[in-house]
Amino acid sequence: MSDLAAPALVITTRIATPDGQLFVKRWPGVDGPVKAPLVLMHDSLGSVALWREFPEQLAAATGRDVIAYDRLGFGQSDPHPRKLTPEFVAQEVTAGFAPVHQALGLRNFVMLGHSVGGGMAAMVAAAYPVQCKALITESAQTFVEDRTLEGIRAARDNFSKPGQLDRLSRYHGDKAAWVLSAWVDTWLTEAFSHYRLDATLRRVHCPVLAIHGELDEFGSLVHPENICEWSQGPAQAEIVAGGGHVPHRELPERIVGRIAAFLQPIV
């Protein structure tokens, strides 16, 4: 009989919230019981499935368990019963993360968020200052920049073409139109124009890594600068030369390696 242990299985589950069930997936790392797990927050059109190989790559490179969930209304989670409010980024702390945190019995954890998920990850880090051991943002926006709105308008126009919404339907099913509206129609409102992360980041004292593509069409390099300036703990930026909005997909080995090096001293 072989002495090699069988690889741990990826676990999927559903977690109840007052508004519906969330789909959650967990990739085990070899040091899972010892090191704080990574919790991923997806972007405005994202889902667990759209992270693709990234969670598995992170688990292998860091040794940590990696957890991702579909926010309500996205992916395999239940439909959202309402439109998003202008406070939806802050509300995700209690609406989505808190039920996942409680159901999985998380103690210490590391937050990683992409795009608007980076804002949500920062909100969680501020709300759980003792338990959140590190914060990683990728392509996060710290305020509503004209460049961001221009990118959203261009995406909206592209999705209006015949067949384009089908790209979202592959991941969100019949929720696809709601997902697109939740992004476009929320970000382009006057009410959301006041969104900022400065007050939140000033309550973040854990180590921070801000990853940002040099050519990100949804946000300039002022955002990683703000994250490093406004956060209160040790902070560092990783600027990806020539990179766009999704560095982990464009340069997976570099991004995974950078995250693993950043997390190496963090238990």
Does residue 1 fall inside a structural domain?
no
For residues 219 and 7, the model is more confident at 219
CATH of residue 159's domain is: 3.40.50.1820
Does residue 6 fall inside a structural domain?
no
Q: What is the mean pLDDT of the chain?
A: 96
Does residue 64 fall inside a structural domain?
yes
123-145 mean pLDDT: 98
Does residue 35 fall inside a structural domain?
yes
Maximum CA pair distance of the chain?
65
Does residue 184 fall inside a structural domain?
yes
Does residue 42 fall inside a structural domain?
yes
220-230 mean pLDDT: 98
CB 219 within 8 A of CB 148: yes
Which pTM does this prediction carry?
0.96
Q: How many domains does the chain have?
A: 1
Residues 6+ apart with CB under 8 A from 54: 40, 248, 249, 252, 256
pLDDT-based confidence at residue 38 (cuts at 50, 70, 90): very high
Residue 138 lies in domain: 11-263
Residue recorded with tokens 């804002």: 119
Work out the end-to-end distance of the chain between its first and last CA atoms, rounded to an integer number of angstroms: 34
Does residue 234 fall inside a structural domain?
yes
Q: Which pLDDT belongs to residue 124?
A: 98
Query: Per DSSP, which regions of 18-165 are E strands?
Result: 20-27, 38-41, 66-69, 109-114, 132-138
Q: Which pLDDT belongs to residue 7?
A: 55
